[in-house]
A = this chain, B = another copy of it.
Amino acid sequence: MVTGDSNYIKTMNRKLVLEDIIRSRSISRVDISKRTGLNKATVSSQVNELIDQSLVIEKPVENYAQPGRRPIILELDPMSTYSIGIDIDRSHIRIMLINLKGMTIYNNIHDFDIRHTDTLAELLPTLLEPVISQYNEVYRPNQLVGIGISLHGIVNAELELLYSPPQQLDLKPLLSELEERFEVPVHIDNNANMSVRAEQSFTAYETNLYSMTLSSGIGLGILLNNEVFHGFSGYAGEVGHMIIKQDGIECRCGNRGCFERYASDEVLTRSLADAGISLIEFPTYESLKADEKAKAIFEDYISFITVGLNNIINVFNPKKLVINSTIFSKYPELLDELKPGLTSSFIDYGDILISPLGTQSSALGAALVPLAKFLDINHFDLNAYHIAH
């Protein structure tokens, strides 16, 4: 059992200090003391350890008009370490590298067929090897802190991937292959769960945050108390299989009327194709609404999305919820169409946002996991950096 001793409070206060430096981007020792409530001496000793560990660097401040000794500005050292995030969707593998400040330093896509998932333990090292050896030279030698992998499917408690039940894949060989080859920890999770971490860090910092990903299926990443909520065996947030229409359309999961049979991008794309419509014809939402057939299809789509969102909001009463969808990114006006449907007297929410991260969110989130583990922090508020770059 975790007990309280001097070591515990040391670690706890280290987290407070480091998290505050990350959140503030640039901050002096005294300001950390004021903001956290920790004594100046405590902050100093913690900061000096962080500097010894090469995580934080000191910078002189210029153009400082106040009287008194000038503060020494503290920042994360972006050249100290980097992390890798990999997103494997049904047709691509995206590999991203980010530095300690969360800035993307490499971002590349490879073609891949999801049906060959069992070849990943061979393929991934080949793709990673040149990238890692290149960046290990730029950064201090061997400063890769870990690899995060985002997978489209449920990662259950036994580390099996259920990508299209009953198909399943044992992920342990992939993990050990990568861990042995690159001598770093490898973390694996579902894409919706990886995404919500990225949304917290880059889009909207909230202790509790929800991110609904609409792609082939529909997943909800749930962040509670700065931690991804997995449920007891990894199945939490599979909202694509929430029933919104009893006795509705049959679904591969065995039930009828599942949310994703009505509101996934796949279903929308098929409806449009059946009507002989391609979205390339409609650069704006206005142009789309001018087309009667397209308008009707989108009205249906919105009505289904609204039902699903209503249910999610009903359960979680979210302060903020992020929608990650190529359709919503293309036509942000959809959000305004949808909101009037979310006015039941038993639901309430703060704000619904469209993700600015798009298809990169799950790889970004995957890259954040090893960084957070390495720094030993709970939350990772990089919004300040993101705005700046």
From residue A82, how far is it (CB to closest CB) to chain B in Å?
Answer: 30
Can you name the residue of chain B whose Cβ is closest to the Cβ of A304? B246
Q: CB of A48 within 8 A of chain B?
A: no
Give Cα distance in the complex from A347 to B251, angstroms. Answer: 13
Contact status B243-A246, CB under 8 Å: no
Interface pick from A72-80, A176-184, A226-234: A226-234
Q: CB of A4 within 8 A of chain B?
A: yes
Q: CB of A154 within 8 A of chain B?
A: yes
Contact status B345-A315, CB under 8 Å: no
Contact with B along A46-86 (1 / 0, CB 8 A): 00000000000000000000000000000000000000000
Interface pick from A35-43, A135-143, A270-278: A35-43
How many copies of the polypeptide does the oligomer hold?
Answer: 2
Q: Given the complex, which residues of B lie within 8 Å of A162, measured CB to CB?
A: 345
A231-B316 contact, Cβ under 8 Å, with A38-B3, A243-B310, A246-B245? yes
Give Cα distance in the complex from A221 to B100, angstroms. Answer: 40
Contact with B along A186-212 (1 / 0, CB 8 A): 000000000000000000000010000
Q: Which range holds the interface residue count of chain A?
A: 35 or more
Contact status B246-A315, CB under 8 Å: no
Contact with B along A1-36 (1 / 0, CB 8 A): 101111011101100100000000000000000011
Contact status A243-B311, CB under 8 Å: yes
Q: Given the complex, which residues of B lie within 8 Å of A237, measured CB to CB?
A: 315, 317
From residue A7, how far is it (CB to closest CB) to chain B in Å?
Answer: 10
Main secondary structure of the interface of A (DSSP, over half): loop
Contact with B along A214-241 (1 / 0, CB 8 A): 0000001000110001111111111111
Q: CB of A120 within 8 A of chain B?
A: no
Can you name the residue of chain B whose Cβ is closest to the Cβ of A241? B346
Q: Which residues of A contact B (CB under 8 A)?
A: 1, 3-6, 8-10, 12-13, 16, 35-38, 154, 156, 162, 165-166, 208, 220, 224-225, 229-246, 251-255, 303-304, 307, 310-312, 314-319, 343-350
Contact status A9-B4, CB under 8 Å: yes
Contact status A36-B236, CB under 8 Å: no
Contact status B9-A253, CB under 8 Å: no
Can you name the residue of chain B whose Cβ is closest to the Cβ of A206? B232
A8-B1 contact, Cβ under 8 Å, with A231-B318, A307-B246? no
Give Cα distance in the complex from A314 to B311, angstroms. Answer: 12
From residue A234, how far is it (CB to closest CB) to chain B in Å?
Answer: 7
Contact status B9-A318, CB under 8 Å: no
Q: Given the complex, which residues of B lie within 8 Å of A350, measured CB to CB?
A: 232
